[in-house]
Amino acid sequence: MSILNGILCNIRGLWLALKSPRLLFLGLLRFGVILVVTIAASWLILSYHAQILDLIWRKPESPMIVWLWHIASWFLSFILVGLSAVLSYLLAQILFAAVLMDLMSRVTERLLTGRVSESGKLPLVQLFFILPKQELPRTIIPVLISLILMVLGWLTPIGPLFMILSSGAAVIFLAWDNTDLVPARRLIRFRDRFRFLLKNLPFHLGFGLPFLVPGLNILFLSFGPVGGTIFHVQREQGGAGSAKPVGK
């Protein structure tokens, strides 16, 4: 599927979520969870900023180089905030957001098809263990790949190219985090789901591009599971524009 189909699918998901009170509530709740965890993690890490900087480089007494120390201090703050954002996102996804995303996906599938397809009926307690387990490889592997590309961008002369690749990889994996909910719920093997991602990279790139739009990306990230579920319903119904709420 094309890049344009990915963009349109994400927009359809946001539009459907804004019209559904339950999806709207779950999306806002997911955003709130990630925001609270991010703020808490940033505050905790930045509270040790002085101690960390002191371990790396004690403040010099010479006024000739003290300005370098201040630049290093600001750079360290930037790195710590970025690190806290990544860690908090991982923590929120694994502990909380994975459950909320699955709920949003289930609600969307029921709205569109009248039922929820899954691999057997799992007890609620077992489900709460399976969802974080599914989320671990889907979140950690993409983050590691993006970080590797980012570091290569810092260390090589073709840094701008690696930064573009890093951004592209980030939005593709963010898109996959939303489109993988239905296959994961059906307990399809991870390697098969990852192979499916590789075969549909243009679509996932398009689906993830709205995540780069400042301001609007918050909405798209919060309600991405809706568009990701629409994607699979469309595939199974055999048409890019065939997925409509039951009864409409």
The rounded distance, in Å, linking the Cα atoms of 98 and 121 is: 18
Ordered per-residue pLDDT tens for the chain, 248 residues: 688 999 999 999 999 998 999 999 988 887 787 777 777 777 777 777 677 667 666 777 777 777 777 677 777 666 666 566 656 666 666 655 677 888 899 899 999 888 887 655 555 555 555 555 665 666 666 666 666 766 666 666 665 666 677 677 778 888 888 898 888 888 788 889 889 988 999 999 999 888 877 667 777 888 889 999 999 998 887 764 555 665 55
Q: State how far the alpha carbon of 188 is from the alpha carbons of 118, 193, 201, in Å.
A: 10, 7, 19
CB 100 within 8 A of CB 30: yes
User: Is the model's pTM score more than 0.85?
Assistant: no
What pLDDT is recorded for position 206? 93
The rounded distance, in Å, linking the Cα atoms of 165 and 65 is: 36
